[in-house]
Chains A and B, each alone.
Chain A
């Protein structure tokens, strides 16, 4: 199972094995990793699952598109490596992925 490391605002790291097919958001929420609220449960309707993707993985993860881009605009402190984690599907290639969560999701 791909391992994903979530690093919160204070620098605390948690590494979780996330089954292929789930999203990066679901890996966090199901295992109570703080820092991702995901109020809409992955419907791309809330923008409370904002993460910063580690630069080394940007190519594999890809950029936000369509609806995600317009929702992402309303997250706080958006950077070029920002994504909504409910729109990132976990694949075997994402093993080792590191994402950082922002200070606040609102």
Chain B
């Protein structure tokens, strides 16, 4: 049989894992990797952490050595964007006009940032944070004493605030929701992180919409719906992301549903075409509904699932989602998805800066947020997968070992 030609669109976290897994497990067909950015696959988490801070360089952000792709026999097409998929002819068209033939295609196109649309959104000195180039553009503005307005208090906004504070900027965080990280965490966790940031000298304004960015040419202030005006030398926006590659997939007639819709084997509605990572939504076996995840764990997990499928060793994707966020000296580790929780149990005292929130739904453990408590996170993650029903009273007692409660 002829060896199948594989093309991967999107050179990110998921693509790098897919290539590593395919070659490690004996996939022999030719592989072409098409990536819009100028860089080979790199990891994004440090972009709002150690790399933004300047603690680590590009060499540690880029995932693989150049020789890796050479040795893996992967043809890199960087700085090239895929613009159309011809499913009948099995051709991929690039922005250069070039057409590449494929037998199997994997879409790993990630996410793109949601942008502001208010008046003044197009002034200069307004930045978003998704890629290396964004960090390079932001860096010259991160100077001690400068006034930074962060729009959006999600993980990325808060991580940026922490880094900028560390570099000596005056930081104000603006959030439309009534509390920080509202989409992902319980009120107790939000108040803890708000307190931590305030203590570090960050100003936080929640429950107020951005009405406009003011300035002549360059942004000078953010005007809020409640009439307040926050002056800023630089603005960084982190108001969420949307799946990328959906237009490309839709134009080719692939089913999309809050991302490119895939099954538990990462197949799109055309089984010759797979999709992995941020750009997809998949049926969660654990939660019983379709989810779209924005995490390294999901990118790696789906990449491994896709590799196994391409090698004819199907293994449905069924991992407990996990995530982390570093702010100041705090490590927040999250397992599971808390949507639909009806009870939160705190374990440990937030005042000690080491505690965890356990989320229950109908008595079943569905998620854990742990601050500087790796055991709660690790044991919690396992218990979520086992659909454990811990006793809430005992869970709240840090003197009873978690092992005894969750087994």
Give the interface of A toward B (CB within 8 A). 19, 21-22, 26, 29-32, 34, 39-47, 67, 70-71, 73-74
Contact = CB atoms under 8 A, between A and B. Distances in A.
B207 to A, nearest CB: 31
B13 to A, nearest CB: 8
A93 B102 CA distance: 48
B242 interface: no
Nearest to A34: B24
Contact of B63 (A21, A30, A47, A73): A30
Contact of A39 (B60, B300, B333, B374): B300
Given A40-B296, A43-B45, A43-B326, A32 B331 contact: no
A74 B24 contact: no
Contacts of B59: 19, 21-22
23 contacts: A21-B59, A21-B60, A26-B60, A29-B63, A30-B68, A31-B64, A32-B64, A39-B297, A39-B300, A40-B296, A41-B45, A41-B63, A42-B60, A43-B49, A43-B324, A43-B331, A44-B331, A45-B324, A45-B331, A46-B322, A67-B372, A73-B374, A74-B374
Interface in B46-77: 46, 49, 59-60, 63-65, 67-68, 71-72
A75 to B, nearest CB: 10
Given A21-B59, A26-B60, 10 more contacts: A22-B59, A29-B63, A29-B64, A32-B20, A32-B24, A34-B24, A39-B296, A43-B324, A46-B322, A71-B374
A41 B65 contact: no
B374 A67 contact: yes
Interface of B: 20, 23-24, 43, 45-46, 49, 59-60, 63-65, 67-68, 71-72, 296-297, 300, 322, 324, 326, 331, 333, 372, 374-375, 378-379
A70 B46 CA distance: 22
Contacts of A31: 64-65, 67-68
A-side binding surface: helix, strand, loop or mixed? loop
A89 to B, nearest CB: 11
A32 B71 contact: yes
Contacts of A46: 322
Given A31-B68, A45-B331, A22 B296 contact: no
Contacts of A42: 60
A30 B331 CA distance: 25
Nearest to A68: B374
